[in-house]
């Protein structure tokens, strides 16, 4: 992924497309959500952060929803315009069941005026549509 500033639609597409395809939370053995985890898994924000940004983030322990402004401002400044979106994407990943993600991500996209194409494409694949 480019280190340039993405649009809100690009952030949404990367995060939602990634977690839907993955189909499970990215957590450690204690159930704590991780930006990047075992077997290449990622959280919603983990699909948007570059490897370098994740290395910067992993330097400390952060509760993303509590310290999102600070985390992004100092650790991933190119995403500073998307703190609210990243927080909402992350909360859905962290607290909703994976089978409910499409509905909640669709509602989020609609509320923000974003395209739901990434969800539509994923659902078509689940229904045996496009590969």
- Look at residue 59 and give its three-state secondary structure: coil
Q: Token match 């704590």: residue?
A: 32
pLDDT digits (tens, 9 = 90+) for 14-51: 999 999 999 999 888 888 888 888 888 998 988 998 88
Tokens of 105: 């991500």
| Gap between the Cα atoms of 3 and 88, Å rounded | 22
Global pTM value: 0.86
pLDDT digits (tens, 9 = 90+) for 82-111: 989 998 999 999 899 999 999 999 999 999
C-beta pairs of 83-86 under 8 Å, 24+ apart in sequence: 85/8, 85/11, 85/12, 85/112, 86/11, 86/15, 86/44, 86/45, 86/48
Confidence label for 61 from pLDDT (cuts 50, 70 and 90): very low
């Amino acid at each position: 992924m480019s280190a340039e500033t993405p649009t809100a639609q690009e952030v949404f597409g990367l995060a939602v497309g990634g977690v839907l395809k993955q189909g499970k939370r990215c957590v450690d053995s204690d159930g704590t959500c991780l930006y990047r985890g075992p077997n290449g898994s990622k959280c919603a924000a983990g699909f948007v952060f570059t490897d370098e940004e994740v290395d910067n983030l992993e330097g400390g322990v952060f509760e993303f929803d509590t310290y999102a402004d600070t985390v992004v401002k100092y650790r991933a400044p190119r995403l500073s315009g998307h703190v609210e979106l990243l927080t909402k994407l992350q909360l859905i990943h962290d607290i909703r069941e994976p089978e409910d993600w499409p509905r909640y991500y669709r509602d989020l996209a609609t509320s923000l005026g974003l395209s739901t194409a990434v969800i539509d494409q994923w659902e078509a694949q689940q229904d045996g549509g496009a590969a």
